[in-house]
Structure 1
Amino acid sequence: MDTARAMQIYNSEQTFAVHLDEDSVWIENVDETNGMATVTVGNNPVNTKTVSCDRLREISK
């Protein structure tokens, strides 16, 4: 996904299904300048990763 879409999801009050590889993630922060996002993997709050936004995929419901 592009950085602008990651930012929209991050700022939205709605919930969107987002995946990193095969894992479901929550977007915790977006660094627009560098195109990076910090995500929480699954339901484990200590399992966070900072990845390029283009590695994230929005899953249609």
Structure 2
Amino acid sequence: MNVHRAQEILAADEKITVELNGLPVWIDSVDASKAVAKVHAEENPADSRLVTVQELEEVH
């Protein structure tokens, strides 16, 4: 995924499924200057981490 798409998903009103290594995650924030996103596991909001946006995959 690219930074622009991650920002679009973050701003979207509808739920867009995103995965990190095959596991569903929510995007909490995007830092465009560093091309990273803060995400958390859908089932465990306390499990947040910083990842590169390239690691994220939109599920269609």
TM-score by length of 1: 0.94
Structure 1 residues not aligned, in runs of 5+: none
Structure 2 residues not aligned, in runs of 5+: none
Is 2:51 the partner of 1:51?
yes
Quote the RMSD (CA, aligned, Å): 0.6
More strand by share: 2
TM-score by length of 2: 0.95
Count of matched residue pairs: 60
CA deviations 1:1-59 (Å, max 9, x no partner) are: 00000000001111101000011000000001100000011221110010000000000
* 4+ aligned runs moved over 4 Å, structure 1: none
Q: Map 1:25-44; keep pairs closer than 5 Å.
A: 25-44=25-44
Identity of aligned residues (%): 30
Q: Aligned equivalents of 1:17 and 1:45: distance in 2? A: 15
Query: In the alignment, what sits opposite 1:23?
Result: 23
